Amino acid sequence: MKYGRIYLYPCSNIDKDWSPFTVGTYEDVKHAGIKFQEGMKLCFYNEDADDYGRADDLLFDGVIHFSPGKGWGAVIGASIFHWESDERESAEHPS
């Protein structure tokens, strides 16, 4: 678990914007002591890097949803993705 965020690999091709929880997601949730509730909003990350290979995780919010026969996952919207470097730049140069 990084910086209070939960790991999730965002799969945009499964049920539109529903992404199933992975082993990493379940490990982070267990470590954080979170108990799933339908409709709960969580902050997620997926490991990524910039063009120079420096860590620059993809960050996004999602709403927990249980899909019968598939299990737990999160509904995420494509327009809410941003990179960790975007947050650093905002903090360094507030509007």
pLDDT digits (tens, 9 = 90+) for 40-63: 999 999 999 988 999 899 998 899
How far apart (Å, rounded) are the C-alpha atoms in residues 29 and 5? 9
Strand, coil or helix: 83: strand
User: Where exactly are the structural domains of the chain?
Assistant: 6-92
Neighbours of 17 (CB within 10 A): 18
Q: By C-alpha distance, which of 53, 47, 55 is closest to 22? A: 47
* This prediction's pTM: 0.80
How far apart (Å, rounded) are the C-alpha atoms in residues 31 and 34? 8
**Residue 1 pLDDT > 60:** no
